[in-house]
Amino acid sequence: MSRNIKSANIAFRKHDHRRCQRELLSAARRVCELRKLRLTTRRRQVLEILLISHQPLGAYDILAELNRAASGERIAPPIVYRALEFLLAEGFIHRIESRNAFISCVHPGHLCAAQFLICRDCERVAELENSDAALLAQADVLGFAVDHSVVEITGVCAECQKHGG
Amino acid sequence: MSRNIKSANIAFRKHDHRRCQRELLSAARRVCELRKLRLTTRRRQVLEILLISHQPLGAYDILAELNRAASGERIAPPIVYRALEFLLAEGFIHRIESRNAFISCVHPGHLCAAQFLICRDCERVAELENSDAALLAQADVLGFAVDHSVVEITGVCAECQKHGG
DNA sequence: CTGGTTACGTTATAATATAACATTATGTCG
DNA sequence: CGACATAATGTTATATTATAACGTAACCAG
Ligand SMILES: [Zn+2]
Ligand SMILES: [Zn+2]
Ligand SMILES: [Zn+2]
Ligand SMILES: [Zn+2]
């Protein structure tokens, strides 16, 4: 649990974000090599755009970013959605359902059951990994076979409470 | 907790659903009277459509249902979305973020922090009320002020595991 | 190099949601 | 009652998010 709190702090505080990006990208490369997957240019571009932001981005934000970067190209939605599909399936990013947005995972490739704390002021998102034992136990009692969980907590982070008023 | 399991069972099993609907509708009426709110025809229509279904419905499903019922009228999306906004604000319904859909609340007007078990076979949804103490404690340690939580567990219910194979 | 497969590109369109403004119903007070 | 303020509904247009369908290019095993 102290590990979780650490990683949450990172998202909500100043840190060497360049280093974050580099480390997470090379982690993704390693995972793809292991799994014999192709981290193609497009996929890498989309992942990089998400790595640069600790905030979740919509598919069309990513699209705009791609089109800005490569002036001349006119990239269309399916390209972005397909890259996102790949990155989601391999556990490099998460989808934030309550925002129709996507964010890079802090432990790429783990296919983790993540929980998110989402600040509605600064829009930053902390990813925790602490699964809800009580809820899962209850699902089990009901004979409900869990596939996938979405846990998204919206509120105001400590920083924004100080600064924002 | 045994209460929660009971209510979850109701959603996933055969029961007197007509009675469900009647009771939840009159509960909503009572709450509106208490709060001096107007449960207008449109709002009641939308609530009724959701009460009839233990499954979540999209806004456009509700729209289609309204237009089917009142042939001649040509109701437009904003009407539905405004009724949904009212019903959400007063705690008569919930939004299922991972489905862009809406479902009636099993304890209308309580503004509860609900958790959902969503069967991906039969599409039924059980609403639990069991808040995740561990997660909230962790948010607290981080100084994160929680506003709203989204907890949506997808899987296969006990019934569908038996029948579906 | 050939055929099978995977990924990418392109066009069109579906599904979900809201902005902006006009109209009607409801309640209040003189 | 009648004039006003407010809340709710209706209408039109459009924004935002996502996918279907089909063609082309890259990659790889034999
Ligand atoms: Zn993750
Ligand atoms: Zn913040
Ligand atoms: Zn509820
Ligand atoms: Zn089921």
**What is the Cβ-side half-sphere exposure of residue A147, based on CA atoms within 13 angstroms?**
11
Domain ranges in chain B are 3-162
Task: Choose, out of A88, A142, A156, A160, the residue to mutate when testing the contact with B (most B CBs < 10 Å).
Answer: A142
Strands (E), chain B: 93-96, 101-104, 115-119, 125-128, 145-156
Q: What is the pLDDT of residues A35-69, one digit of tens each?
A: 999 999 999 999 999 999 979 999 999 999 999 98
- Amino acid B126 reads A
Q: H or E segment at A148?
A: strand A145-156
With an 8 Å Cβ cutoff, are A143 and B152 in contact?
Answer: no
Checking if the pLDDT of B7 tops 80, the result is no
Query: Which DSSP string corresponds to B124-135?
Result: -EEEE----HHH
From chain B, pick out residues whose CB is under 8 angstroms from the CB of A8: 138, 142, 144
Place of tokens 């934030």: A96
CB B61 within 8 A of CB B96: no
Contact predicate A66/A45, CB 8 Å: yes
How sure is the predictor about B136, in pLDDT bands with cuts at 50, 70 and 90? confident
Contact between B96 and B118 (Cβ < 8 Å): yes
pLDDT at A10: 67
Instruction: Tell if the CB–CB gap between A150 and B153 is shorter than 8 Å.
Output: yes
Q: Is the pTM of this model over 0.75?
A: yes
Whether A132 has its CB under 8 Å from any CB of chain B: the answer is yes
The answer on pLDDT for B160 being more than 50 is yes
Instruction: Say how many C-beta atoms besides its own lie within 10 A of residue B133's C-beta.
Output: 11
Judged against a pLDDT cut of 50, whether residue A2 lies above it is answered with no
CB contacts, 8 Å: A149 with chain B: 151-154
Which amino acid would we find at residue A60?
Y
Highest CATH level, class, for A3-162: mainly alpha
What chain B residue is nearest to A151 in terms of C-alpha separation?
Answer: B151
Residues of B in contact with A138 (CB under 8 A): 1, 4-5, 8, 128, 130
Tens-digit pLDDT profile for residues A92-128 = 999 999 999 999 999 888 877 899 999 999 999 999 9
If you compute the radius of gyration of chain B from its CA atoms, what whole number of angstroms results?
17
Mean pLDDT, chain B, whole residue set: 89
Query: Which nucleotides of chain C have an atom under 7 angstroms from any protein CB?
Result: 6-12, 15-20, 26-27
**Residue predicted with more confidence, B9 or B33:** B33
**Segments in chain A forming alpha helices (H):** 2-12, 17-35, 41-52, 59-69, 77-89, 133-141, 158-164
Tokens of B152: 């949506």
Report the C-alpha gap between A124 and A103 in whole angstroms. Answer: 10
